[in-house]
């Protein structure tokens, strides 16, 4: 919980807040003196909204820190992304786009090589090609466990994400990975009462995986480590008094939103227009809407400057569908920057726009990195966005007299 | 104490600092694209001073948090307004404009209804009209206690502020309010040694109040809760090495200033010109002057945009009387914003000007919200103002070698 709110209780209200997250929004020019992706994009609707808004640059975790999408989103949702770290297994599952529920237990998986006596000779199975990893993941997916579902998703080469879903599973589990070659994989042990069932299921999975993979040398065994559930967060209803809905296509974002107590809406397809349709349909049922756009980040990570420009322009074209709903507060931001120039996430602060009838508009009528640097919000931690959004929605009480 | 100062001891100096607080200074335009109260006001003197100053926007408590005047002033005085929370009783008394001294014990009071057996049938006495509350407060004020003065001030409807003043009163007192109907009011108990005398006086007051109110059903009894003194703060002399004087008309601000160790000066009247006269008269006796202007906030809370504009212009007209005294440092700011558009305090950051011969003037020659957003101080916590003022007055030593 954002510490600000410990002192100013939330007030009930009939107002609505929309948080539009363009993943990896912030960018860089391709050459010195040039424009970023957002500055290059033709965004008449975002610019018009900017003119009635206050702008700034948000810092997701801390200056210089490149955030993953998990911490980037936790910060935008008002949770300290350092205090509420997401465990390694849960991160791997979210990263592999598995739709992680609050009771699911996730782990990082490796294919590995064992000798005839069962001792590990290569923890990474010679880094098998990703395509082979995907084929073998199919074999693992066919394993059936009693009383629990399992999910396997290839990450890259020998790595995969593993998820157990079922009632009464604990996350306090030891790794099966002994970390040193020559040893045999370890049995997964329950480290706390309440995790015994999960340990038994994990061991049963490993036992069957070994049988299924027996003749697939060098990937003839699996290792599991970093078991974790999603962090247990106080939800939006409890923290902010908001009935919150999430509109996102990819599992990672659905998982983080669910862990923040949002209702994850069904989206009829995978395109932004499908997400805006879901927004319109659910508008009267919730107070807060998180709408996630993935394409901006994918283009940035692919190093495709112009595809990122077009992804931003596509969102700009749909913005009137959001503003037509007459939200009291609109935030447009990103969970981190993903400059195409860098082909990766980056630490650069993220262009952010806060619209409400109660902002002191800063007169900056353009939505872009350099425009936001001149904005009235200045540079601010991303965790300040939710308190500011609540305030502008008249949902925070006064502190003191 | 502001943590910055833990590292840089204050240095003695012959320099003088003036802190001019226009209560609720920050505002909003009445319509999109318009000007705020401060931007609308003709302020040639403030603008000229701004040209030789560095400007910024101060955040009194935290982004999105609407502060009361108490926390807003504590922050400007350099005290963390969250750590130094003002207790409920003291808040009520300050809010009712009672002039709270450091030894006074204050409580929130309710008129309530009791049946013939003394059991509470309505904790709020049917929310009697404020006018009746004021009449009954007069009856309570007539009560005489041995060895202590008492003060009663109506807040609204059934609510009033209650203050005990006398030697040797502690604040560790239990509530007389049992909180659940059907119970009898509880005796006030001393929760620590040293509060027995205050408990006895409170109980004696309650006993007499019941007698005085006996035939005034439904308001035939009182409840007291949230006993508190003003927080005990290290004072300006100890913290900053400043002989500090406060010039304020209303009890709330006099109370907060006194709790910060300032000498509260007599003001010959209630108008700003009376306050400036007090400033001129005391100029040679102190190092630091806090001058409080109430009218800006009153107009904002009344929703009277143009009265707030005129209140600002009135202060601007008197500014030459301050600058003629040749202060080394002048800070002009507010304890919070009070946009007439909202008719209330708000969370918006506060226009702030820091003048000294040692500022790196930012070239912004206008004092207003948007001008300050472009200023050289940027957005900063209000608690940074005192360290900055001390530094520009050459009253802070170097940190490290």
Three-class DSSP labels, B126-151:
CCCCHHHHHHHHHHHHCCCECCEEEE
| pLDDT at residue A97, rounded to an integer | 82
Label residue B3 by pLDDT band (50, 70, 90): low
What residues of chain B, 76 to 95, have a C-beta less than 8 Å from chain A? Answer: 81-82, 85-86, 91-92, 94-95
User: What would the two tokens of residue B152 be?
Assistant: 């009663």
Low-confidence ranges of chain A (pLDDT < 50): 1
Closest-CA residue of chain B to A3: B62
Q: In chain A, what are the domain boundaries?
A: 3-84+234-392, 91-228
User: What would the two tokens of residue A310 be?
Assistant: 């077009």
| pLDDT at residue B7, rounded to an integer | 61
pTM here?
Answer: 0.86
What phi, psi does A21 have (nearest 5°)?
-105, 115
- The Cα of A26 is separated from the nearest Cα of chain B by a number of Å equal to 22
Q: What is the ipTM of this complex?
A: 0.84
Cα separation of B121 and B217, whole Å? 11
Ranges assigned E (strand) in A205-279? 221-228, 244-247, 263-264
CB B64 to CB A362 under 8 A?
Answer: no
Q: Does B58 touch chain A (CB under 8 A)?
A: no
Average pLDDT over chain A, rounded to whole?
A: 94
Q: What angle do CA B8, B9, B13 make, to 5 degrees?
A: 120
CB A387 to CB B29 under 8 A?
Answer: no
pLDDT in tens, A365-401: 999 999 999 999 999 999 999 999 999 999 998 887 6
pLDDT in tens, B321-378: 999 999 999 999 999 999 999 999 999 999 999 999 999 999 999 999 999 999 999 9
Q: Does A52 touch chain B (CB under 8 A)?
A: yes
Q: Does B153 touch chain A (CB under 8 A)?
A: no
Three-class DSSP category at A132: helix
State which H helix or E strand residue B350 sits in.
Answer: strand B350-356
Label residue B230 by pLDDT band (50, 70, 90): confident
| pLDDT at residue A87, rounded to an integer | 86
Percent of chain A with pLDDT over 90: 84
Contacts of A388 in chain B (CB under 8 A): 63-64, 347
Label residue B2 by pLDDT band (50, 70, 90): low
Cα separation of A66 and A349, whole Å? 10
Contacts of B28 in chain A (CB under 8 A): 358, 360
Contacts of A23 (CB under 8 A, 6+ apart): A69, A253, A292, A293, A294, A295, A296, A297, A298, A334, A335, A336, A338
Which residue carries 């904790």 as its tokens?
B123
Contacts of A336 (CB under 8 A, 6+ apart): A23, A24, A26, A60, A66, A67, A68, A69, A72, A345, A346, A350
pLDDT of B255 strictly over 90? no
Cα separation of B220 and B136, whole Å? 10
**Is residue A5 a contact partner of residue A397, using CB atoms and an 8 Å limit?**
no
Which of these ranges, A110-114, A304-308, B10-14, B313-317, has the smallest mean pLDDT? Answer: B10-14
pLDDT in tens, A108-157: 999 999 999 999 999 999 999 999 999 999 999 999 999 999 999 998 89
The class of domain B3-84+234-392 in CATH terms is alpha beta
**Is residue B92 a contact partner of residue B226, using CB atoms and an 8 Å limit?**
yes
| pLDDT at residue A385, rounded to an integer | 98
Average pLDDT over chain B, rounded to whole?
A: 94
């Amino acid at each position: 919980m954002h510490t600000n709110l410990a002192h100013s209780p939330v007030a009930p209200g009939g107002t609505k807040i929309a948080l539009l997250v363009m993943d990896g929004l912030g960018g860089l020019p391709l050459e010195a003196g040039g424009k970023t992706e957002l500055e290059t994009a033709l965004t008449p609707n975002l610019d018009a909204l900017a003119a009635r808004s206050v702008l700034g640059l948000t810092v997701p975790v801390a200056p210089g820190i490149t955030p993953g999408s998990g911490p980037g989103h936790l910060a935008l949702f008002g949770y300290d992304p350092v205090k509420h770290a997401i465990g390694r297994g849960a991160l791997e599952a979210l990263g592999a786009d598995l739709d992680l529920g609050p009771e699911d237990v996730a782990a990082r998986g490796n294919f590995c090589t064992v000798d005839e006596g069962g001792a590990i000779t290569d923890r990474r199975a010679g880094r098998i090609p990703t395509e082979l990893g995907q084929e073998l993941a199919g074999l693992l997916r066919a394993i059936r466990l009693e009383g629990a579902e399992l999910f396997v998703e290839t990450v890259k080469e020998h790595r995969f994400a593993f998820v157990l879903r079922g009632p009464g599973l604990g996350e306090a589990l030891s790794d099966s990975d002994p970390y040193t070659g020559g040893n045999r994989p370890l049995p997964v042990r329950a480290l706390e009462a309440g995790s015994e069932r999960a340990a038994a299921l994990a061991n049963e999975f490993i036992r069957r995986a070994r049988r299924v993979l027996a003749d697939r040398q060098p990937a003839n065994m699996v290792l599991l480590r970093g078991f974790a559930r999603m962090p247990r967060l106080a939800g939006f209803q409890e923290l902010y008094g908001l009935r919150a809905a999430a509109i996102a296509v990819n599992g990672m974002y659905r998982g983080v939103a669910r862990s923040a107590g949002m209702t994850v809406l069904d989206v009829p397809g995978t395109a932004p227009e499908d997400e805006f349709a879901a927004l319109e349909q659910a508008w009267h049922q919730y107070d807060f809407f998180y709408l996630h756009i993935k394409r901006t980040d994918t283009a940035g990570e692919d190093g495709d400057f112009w595809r990122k420009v077009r992804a931003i322009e596509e969102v700009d074209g749909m913005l009137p569908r959001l503003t037509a709903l007459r939200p009291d507060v609109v935030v447009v931001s990103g969970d981190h920057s993903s400059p195409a120039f860098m082909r990766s996430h980056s630490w650069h602060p993220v262009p952010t726009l806060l619209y409400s009838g109660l902002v002191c508009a800063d007169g900056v009528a353009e939505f872009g990195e350099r425009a936001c640097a001149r904005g009235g919000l200045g540079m601010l931690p991303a965790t300040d966005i939710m308190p500011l959004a609540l305030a502008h929605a008249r949902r925070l009480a006064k502190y003191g007299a």
